[in-house]
Chain A
């Protein structure tokens, strides 16, 4: 009895201390806000110093895809420590399997009328997820021109201005790019690098049954057939001018693609009766020796997978002569984020020369910045990057094909109708 009494009084004392401390911290915040402006009410009439002042002490709930250890470590540890050291901003990472989970959270909050104090501060986003939030005006912006490190980015580039064909207008900041590569087991297959020969090769005795691609709408699978669409039906420019208004012609114009895909279907893994759902399942098939090919948007993926023992050591990377589809990584801030200033600080840190170098060198991505615009020492670091024979050399990523824009869902549905359900 005495013990519990003691415990209760101790607990009460502790509570009192905590409560007593509370008003003081509140006071500090009040004086802070009185002195400076707030992004929520004053943007864009703020200087970067004022953003930094508001960001001081904020914790940013960063929703990002959590499927890769190297990327997680980069964002949750490297960036977190830098943000803490420079600006007293900390990161609370929220790993999602699919970015759409974060999107649904913001949508749900918007529908419930939660216009401030939302639970998402920053999202690693691109393509249709960006459009989903941009359409109902649920993103904060325009902010990307205000980031100091944007000086290293080519703001005239299509990456900076368009995301899968959609105008960005400063509502998501560019922090990396990526381009599709094909991975193959050089001990089993030896594929040619131009698309026509490659398609023929798939049906050869050597490669029969050893190739497949993730079923669209998985973004890697969609990226693969988008590249084929450009090749078999005309140049990418032809498609990019179009919009989803022309559904009828799309089916007609894309006939050549479906012909090819149906032609190779009997030569695919499991004769194309079923497809892996995503690259993770595809890698599992490589690991089990069921297929000899994989594909990915991750430049560094092949080395990581060999190290983890998923891929055999004979796995190599290749690129089509005609180029492959590329895309970009962005960060967007939801309209109801209570920590917009902190989120902007993170977005800025991601574009710094050091982190852009780390992105390529250790994380396995491709940069958002233009190397020639970087300070001298950073340029030297970039020039020194050299990877082993497993990878396509860093400077050979020249033929980047654009994503399909708002025709993409139509392409995905057409694939279901013309290939999968056919």
Chain B
């Protein structure tokens, strides 16, 4: 009897936490987003909140910006991480030190990275001051707008800085486990460097890299603190928009805040599904 239920008993604590916290929160979020909030007299559920956000141009621009940040950060980090991984695989003097330095920022929180970006890249920041000191610019305002800028350069820079080593860890781990055998075999069959990378290494590392970059994609799509610190006032990425609506003292804004949050959750799910499908196809076609 016990043996039959054993797996269920063992997973139940974890499942319980997930069900209560996640499904419970999602449920309340959903009811609010349907304009149901009896405490302020909203008793009839409807779709007004969704209608109002999807017809607002501000929301759509926020959505576009959020997608741009997530996709650009993921793609850039992934590319650079693969490149660095390939280099760090070679044996050269100081390889261990380089690898250590490369992964140094793994335990540093995002928020610290963001503050660092502020120190370095604002128009009154460290780099701007150096530029001023060596007479490259005369006034702070001549320094290029890298933070609080319309293209979210500051935000993407922070994500790339933080996610390269994250993806890189996986790349290096896979490369180490592959070893040199496949490549040497390909070389004896006459493959050049590019061909060895394209037809031997890439297909081997891609599945792992793609699955770790899904995590990066989902994170950069839904994270709040980095765009909050480094973002422009308008348009703001969706998570910032949701929090802004949620902290609005006017309780009538709550349904819209919740609708925005639900849209973020739904879209990142869709994004992940599309990404998985695509990446599976890429992996298979190779």
**With a CB–CB cut-off of 8 A, which chain B residues contact A107?**
39, 251
A90-105 CB mask vs B (1 if < 8 Å, else 0) is 0000000010100110
User: Does B248 sit within 8 A of A, measured CB to CB?
Assistant: yes
Q: What's the dominant secondary structure at chain A's contact region?
A: helix
User: Does A49 sit within 8 A of B, measured CB to CB?
Assistant: no
B148-189 CB mask vs A (1 if < 8 Å, else 0) is 111000000000000000000000000000000000000000
Given known contacts A274-B232, A285-B124, A421-B58, A290 and B247 CB-to-CB distance under 8 angstroms? no
User: Does B249 sit within 8 A of A, measured CB to CB?
Assistant: yes
Do A289 and B39 touch (CB < 8 A)?
A: no
Do B249 and A290 touch (CB < 8 A)?
A: no
Do B233 and A215 touch (CB < 8 A)?
A: yes
Question: Smallest CB–CB gap between A403 and chain B, Å?
Answer: 13
Do B124 and A273 touch (CB < 8 A)?
A: no
Question: Smallest CB–CB gap between B236 and chain A, Å?
Answer: 10
**With a CB–CB cut-off of 8 A, which chain B residues contact A420?**
233-234
Do A290 and B234 touch (CB < 8 A)?
A: no
Given known contacts A132-B249, A135-B40, A273 and B122 CB-to-CB distance under 8 angstroms? no
Do B249 and A100 touch (CB < 8 A)?
A: yes
Given known contacts A288-B122, A290-B123, A416-B58, A270 and B141 CB-to-CB distance under 8 angstroms? yes
Given known contacts A129-B249, A270-B145, A289 and B40 CB-to-CB distance under 8 angstroms? no
Q: What's the dominant secondary structure at chain B's contact region?
A: loop
**With a CB–CB cut-off of 8 A, which chain B residues contact A421?**
57-58, 234
User: Does A309 sit within 8 A of B, measured CB to CB?
Assistant: no
User: Does A40 sit within 8 A of B, measured CB to CB?
Assistant: no
User: Does A110 sit within 8 A of B, measured CB to CB?
Assistant: yes
Residue in A98, A104, A288 whose beta carbon sits within 8 Å of that of B140 in the complex: A288
Residue in A277, A284, A409, A416 whose beta carbon sits within 8 Å of that of B250 in the complex: A409
**With a CB–CB cut-off of 8 A, which chain B residues contact A217?**
248
Do A270 and B148 touch (CB < 8 A)?
A: yes
**With a CB–CB cut-off of 8 A, which chain B residues contact A402?**
none
Question: Smallest CB–CB gap between A333 and chain B, Å?
Answer: 18
**With a CB–CB cut-off of 8 A, which chain B residues contact A104?**
247
Question: Smallest CB–CB gap between B176 and chain A, Å?
Answer: 44
Query: Bound complex: CA of A128 vs CA of B150, how far in Å?
Result: 31
**With a CB–CB cut-off of 8 A, which chain A residues contact B122?**
288, 290
**With a CB–CB cut-off of 8 A, which chain B residues contact A288?**
122-125, 140
- Interface residue tally for chain A (C-beta within 8 Å): 33
Do B247 and A275 touch (CB < 8 A)?
A: no
Residue in B57, B145, B247 whose beta carbon sits within 8 Å of that of A98 in the complex: B247
CB-based nearest A residue for B61: A421
User: Does A209 sit within 8 A of B, measured CB to CB?
Assistant: yes
CB-based nearest A residue for B37: A111
**With a CB–CB cut-off of 8 A, which chain A residues contact B250?**
128, 132, 409
Do B251 and A275 touch (CB < 8 A)?
A: no
CB-based nearest A residue for B143: A290
Residue in A209, A274, A289, A416 whose beta carbon sits within 8 Å of that of B124 in the complex: A289
Question: Smallest CB–CB gap between A37 and chain B, Å?
Answer: 30
**With a CB–CB cut-off of 8 A, which chain A residues contact B248?**
217, 409
CB-based nearest B residue for A406: B250
Residue in B57, B58, B141, B150 whose beta carbon sits within 8 Å of that of A290 in the complex: B141
Do A290 and B251 touch (CB < 8 A)?
A: no
CB-based nearest B residue for A98: B247
User: Does A249 sit within 8 A of B, measured CB to CB?
Assistant: no
22 A–B pairs (Cβ distance < 8 Å), ordered by A: A100-B247, A100-B249, A103-B249, A104-B247, A132-B249, A132-B250, A135-B40, A136-B39, A136-B251, A209-B139, A269-B141, A270-B141, A273-B232, A274-B232, A274-B233, A275-B233, A287-B124, A288-B122, A288-B125, A289-B124, A290-B141, A421-B58
Across the A-B interface, the 8 shortest Cβ-Cβ residue pairs: A288-B124, A128-B249, A290-B124, A274-B232, A274-B148, A132-B249, A215-B233, A420-B234
- With A107-B251, A274-B149, A421-B234 already in contact, 17 other A-B pairs whose C-beta atoms are closer than 8 Å: A100-B249, A104-B247, A110-B39, A127-B249, A128-B250, A129-B249, A132-B249, A132-B250, A136-B39, A209-B141, A270-B145, A285-B124, A288-B125, A288-B140, A290-B140, A416-B234, A421-B57
- The residues of B with any CB-CB pair to A shorter than 8 Å are 39-40, 57-58, 118, 122-125, 139-141, 145, 148-150, 232-234, 247-251
